[in-house]
Homo-oligomer: A and B are copies of this chain.
């Protein structure tokens, strides 16, 4: 057993771990980076990048279906599943290569391989070969897709998003469990590529949406494009030959048994905090087992342990992991003189079609922080000029602002080019713009952004007609 003494130990070499490591080093501290798996981030290896590669192929396939609407006829379409997956994997490998190259650039003595477990608040056991004594720690252990044990028992045809991007060929059929971002993105992409796909949702969730009116439009848009069954649970899974026999049950108790090549479990991801020996750190933890931490400093309680990325389950996405890792690493180096880092306006995008974007304060947050104190504007994209020109006239945007100040607070949307509208509006939130200031901004023609303007005009109208109420809110402030 080797013992290593260091100032900072970063556990996990994903996105958060890498920015954390670099920040701690930049802070002048001796730092080690511990990884139990291969290098390469969740994003590059099995997340954002390969999923977007698959989605790009799916969009090409979909455009062939949509083209006749413009007078353009594609003839007999052939989807070369092997070629689709070969491009996904080779480009993915290229992106992973950049990550691995980065890690290769770190000094060898800083990198430790193995599973880390806290023995005490300043001591880690790495597999059975090393003990690390450190003053400060960054937990950046990421997350893992959840697969219920009873599904796992059905064998290797029950898979997660991790497995899809290692396929050599597109399968005949896939059942997807979960209507979150991952289930919908992958389910829709596979469906467009000719795979028979059924998506099961226990509830009526659609990606990250929370606004009931947008959700209603989103459910319809998804159900129009896909075999999505809301309020329907997968209750039995069994392998039979080369297939899975899957029984689902809807809210009325109706059962249905079907056969699929795979069951893709996309019901959520669990932060990797359960095999870390956190019980030996003395840290206070929430009911998910995640240490309680400060969102501005990433510090766990008053300790010298910091947490970042998917492991803290706050905003599981690459830009957040990078920011949080940077703050955690920087504060690990500064400890005990920690300071708040840059937390940006929330922005989440689902690359479904129509795309889904949420930004700033969510509808549900505002119902708590601004009950009766925020106005809502909206636009449907059904008749939005440019969207119609592109045959993408589906969706809805709802925008929120604070009465009195007129300050823009957030939005939820399903519709064309939501990824770009999401950036525009999240920047407006962060810049502290009022709705009037936004309406004074340039809007070209004909563009999807004119739909945003319609929603903002509606919002301005509602702001100008604040309903009477008797619960004065003396200190309303924009939610996060």
Q: Which residues of A contact B (CB under 8 A)?
A: 43, 48-49, 52-53, 56-57, 60-61, 63-64, 66-67, 69-87, 91, 95, 193, 317-319, 342, 344-349, 359, 385-386, 388-391, 417, 419-424, 426-428, 430-431, 433, 437-438, 440-449
Contacts and interface: CB of A to CB of B under 8 A. Distances in A.
B426 A441 contact: yes
A422 B424 CA distance: 10
Contacts of A71: 57, 79-87
B66 A73 contact: no
Contacts of A440: 342, 344, 430
A424 B420 contact: yes
Contacts of A444: 317, 319, 347-349, 419, 422-423
A345 B441 contact: yes
A446 B92 CA distance: 13
What is the oligomeric copy number?
2
A448 B344 CA distance: 18
**Which 3 residue pairs of A and B lie closest in terms of their CB atoms, listed nearest first?**
A75-B75, A71-B83, A420-B420
A431 B430 contact: no
A423 B446 contact: no
12 contacts: A48-B445, A71-B86, A72-B84, A73-B77, A91-B388, A95-B385, A319-B443, A420-B424, A420-B449, A426-B441, A427-B427, A431-B431
A431 B446 CA distance: 23
Nearest to A73: B78
B72 A79 contact: yes
B442 A423 contact: yes
Contacts of A78: 72-73, 75
Contacts of A433: 431
Contact of A80 (B73, B75, B420, B427): B73
Question: Which of A49, A75, A79, A389 has its CB near the most chain B CB atoms (within 10 A)?
Answer: A389
Question: Which of A67, A87, A427, A433 has its CB near the most chain B CB atoms (within 10 A)?
Answer: A427
Main secondary structure of the interface of A (DSSP, over half): helix
A233 to B, nearest CB: 32
Given A80-B72, A319-B442, A67 B56 contact: no
Nearest to A64: B74
Contacts of A421: 420
Given A52-B389, A73-B78, 17 more contacts: A48-B446, A52-B446, A56-B70, A56-B389, A60-B72, A63-B64, A70-B83, A71-B81, A71-B82, A71-B83, A72-B79, A75-B77, A345-B442, A348-B444, A423-B424, A423-B441, A431-B441
A344 B449 CA distance: 15
B79 A49 contact: no
A335 to B, nearest CB: 24
A39 to B, nearest CB: 18
A438 B345 CA distance: 12
A373 B380 CA distance: 45
A148 to B, nearest CB: 30
A318 B445 contact: yes
A342 B344 CA distance: 31
Question: Which of A52, A344, A359, A433 has its CB near the most chain B CB atoms (within 10 A)?
Answer: A52
Contacts of A49: 385, 389, 446
Contacts of A60: 63, 66-67, 69-70, 72
A257 to B, nearest CB: 33
Nearest to A447: B419
A77 B438 CA distance: 44
A48 B67 CA distance: 21
